[in-house]
Chain A
């Protein structure tokens, strides 16, 4: 039996007196995509940060492609592409410099440049590839964060609020990125508030409330008006 690409067991994250995530279990198989849904403060971004190796878990076991994120953080990070929920861009570096830094740290061969250029063009960022990101609009920043997460073809793609403030063309490009990642066997975890888009991108959803999983549904059950009502009932 193969391991899930993302395997979270009994995850707990505390910040002082605040328990951000409580006993969370989650698995995303290779080629699968799961949406993390929930209200503000539900623990979605904290979970994403733990999987990305940016925030350590207080307790529990988090594995990416079978690698323990806490014990082998570097190996886990090599397998992951992460789009953080806030900013995610170094203000006084250009998109191309972000890509170069990531390519060097990931030891990619020279073919990455063509892939990156075509991805930048797909996200309508080709013309801004050599401008400082501090001058970018919020939507441009979000789109570039998705490009940075995806261009190195990671085994696990973590997208935290990738649709936030993004125009329809950017949304479409992001959905394409998710689809092509799944097609090549990557596991995708998407955290968002936007139920409709989450259901277009993912085949299942896990709903969090107060750091706890309050429900898990196949995408089909959360689509349309009936799905929205089910979702609202789980949030209440």
Chain B
């Protein structure tokens, strides 16, 4: 399908006012916080792209050589995981929530451009982009680093555009006749195919044949003064990206003509009544738990979060000592689905819930319980998948490090999320898979913060997994656990304050 030039012009010019409209959600301190979040993200991205080049062993060490061999696979993995992440959100993030957009003439092309612009709000995108920039910098060293990283950025942009276009195509199929069955069957076939490649040890050969080898050659061409190769690489990736943007817009128009059935099936279904809960806490937990698992976008997001890192780790046969890096990613991703604005689960029902006679601290405990439970389920599922090819059973130091990492990052993420939820509530519905629990710019800051802290924690416990004595992991975990518990206690006290709670409740119920 072709889109007229005037439509493109209009779509591009509509993006800025829509962004401004979303920014209008943020005033005063919140706007400054959003600006700080963007600054924080940019600084971390620049640091990831440059700092490793100055590190010991950059370019020259055997480790740099090993990473060079893995680089094409990493470039390909970025494309695959970004595609799956956008597919998981039903076509990527939206500039304007669907229920608000009905009152405005927002074209599918504008929606497509907005989704592309907001793609970095995904923690999988952020972490992988930083990793790719960092590994490339370490392999390339300081010589012509700027040109090297320009090519990496060009690949990140092109891969994101391709992933977005593919995601629209999947969404178009999903919304069609028998779409859900077709998409699920395709996942099953791809999963079985991947498992067969792993089982027959042919995964490496497939990765070696990846066309991203040429992307890496073009990326590193400036090191050997091969400027023509570099220029061709830049031109090819940018052209591929531009073509993907154009095709993606066409696919977005096709998707817009099919109705989303995200929650329609769940809403039409009858849920069998259950026995009365035995206690007040059980009643609260049951309600909160249902709010998470009955939400199609949350359920889908959690399954992706659990499976994706697990499958990547299994494909790469990551050993037990390296697995502590992953729980942080899953916990942070889970929090970014809803945890950072946990009271939004009640939606417009928040006012009624707060009028019920229950100790607010008990309601807080129930919410913490459910958030922690959700993160732990996703993390344990991920470890189950990742552990399949992690070579035997972990030794005591590895098992301790892994267990402690799961406990620490989960509690850290829950404590931080609950604090943000009480301090910065937002009115969101989370009915669509494309919705986010906070405005885009706030999500950027949250993603960057959670990605950084959970990765650092994971790296720290990854080091303890290599120690002979498991006690180190326990010693390091204790202060971190205490700090997280302290944060939770302070936040629970804030939540019990009627003025603070009234602000949160009236905000999340205001739709």
- Nearest A-chain residue to B346, judged by Cβ: A90
Q: A129 CA to B270 CA in the complex, in Å? A: 8
A91 B355 Cβ-Cβ under 8 A: no
B354 A91 Cβ-Cβ under 8 A: no
- Given A52, A80, A94, A105, which contacts B283 in the complex, CB threshold below 8 Å? A105
Q: A84 CA to B350 CA in the complex, in Å? A: 10
B349 A87 Cβ-Cβ under 8 A: yes
A125 within 8 Å of B by Cβ?
no
- B358: min CB distance to chain A, Å: 5
Given contacts A96-B273, A97-B290, A132-B267, contact A148 B280 (CB under 8 A): no
Beta-carbon contacts of A16-52 to B below 8 Å, as 1s and 0s? 0000000000000000000000000000000001001
B276 A100 Cβ-Cβ under 8 A: yes
List residues of chain A with CB within 8 A of the CB of B511: 86-87
Given contacts A101-B287, A104-B276, A104-B283, contact A92 B355 (CB under 8 A): no
B389 within 8 Å of A by Cβ?
no
Given contacts A87-B351, A93-B290, A134-B267, contact A101 B498 (CB under 8 A): no
Beta-carbon contacts of B347-372 to A below 8 Å, as 1s and 0s? 11101111111110000000000000
A86 B510 Cβ-Cβ under 8 A: yes
Q: A75 CA to B372 CA in the complex, in Å? A: 31
Q: A90 CA to B508 CA in the complex, in Å? A: 11
B475 within 8 Å of A by Cβ?
no
A87 B283 Cβ-Cβ under 8 A: no
Given contacts A134-B263, A135-B268, contact A73 B510 (CB under 8 A): no
Q: A131 CA to B353 CA in the complex, in Å? A: 19
Given contacts A56-B502, A74-B357, A104-B280, contact A93 B287 (CB under 8 A): yes
Q: A82 CA to B511 CA in the complex, in Å? A: 19
Beta-carbon contacts of B397-408 to A below 8 Å, as 1s and 0s? 000000000000
A90 B291 Cβ-Cβ under 8 A: yes
List residues of chain A with CB within 8 A of the CB of B356: 77, 101-102, 105-106
Q: A153 CA to B348 CA in the complex, in Å? A: 24
List residues of chain A with CB within 8 A of the CB of B279: 104
B502 A90 Cβ-Cβ under 8 A: no
List residues of chain A with CB within 8 A of the CB of B271: 94, 97, 130-132
Q: Report the interface size for chain B: residues with CB under 8 A from the other chain.
A: 47
List residues of chain B with CB within 8 A of the CB of A91: 291, 347-349, 429, 431
- A18: min CB distance to chain B, Å: 13
Q: A54 CA to B279 CA in the complex, in Å? A: 23
- Given A56, A73, A82, A100, which contacts B352 in the complex, CB threshold below 8 Å? A82
A55 within 8 Å of B by Cβ?
yes
B24 within 8 Å of A by Cβ?
no
Q: A3 CA to B158 CA in the complex, in Å? A: 72
- Residue of A84, A106, A148 with highest tally of chain B CB at under 10 A: A84
B295 within 8 Å of A by Cβ?
yes
Beta-carbon contacts of A126-146 to B below 8 Å, as 1s and 0s? 000111111100000000010
Which 10 A-B pairs give the minimum distances between C-beta atoms? Answer: A87-B348, A135-B267, A90-B349, A77-B357, A84-B351, A104-B283, A82-B355, A92-B294, A56-B498, A88-B352
A-B contact list, 24 entries, CB within 8 Å: A49-B351, A52-B351, A54-B351, A54-B354, A55-B506, A56-B502, A74-B358, A75-B357, A86-B348, A87-B509, A88-B348, A89-B352, A90-B287, A90-B345, A91-B429, A92-B290, A92-B294, A94-B273, A105-B356, A105-B358, A130-B270, A132-B266, A135-B267, A145-B352
Q: Known pairs A53-B355, A132-B266. 12 more at Cβ < 8 A?
A: A49-B351, A54-B502, A77-B356, A84-B351, A84-B352, A86-B348, A86-B509, A90-B291, A92-B294, A104-B283, A105-B283, A132-B263
B: residues with CB less than 8 A from A are 263-264, 266-274, 276-277, 279-280, 283-284, 286-287, 290-291, 294-295, 345-349, 351-359, 429, 431, 498-499, 502, 505-506, 509-511
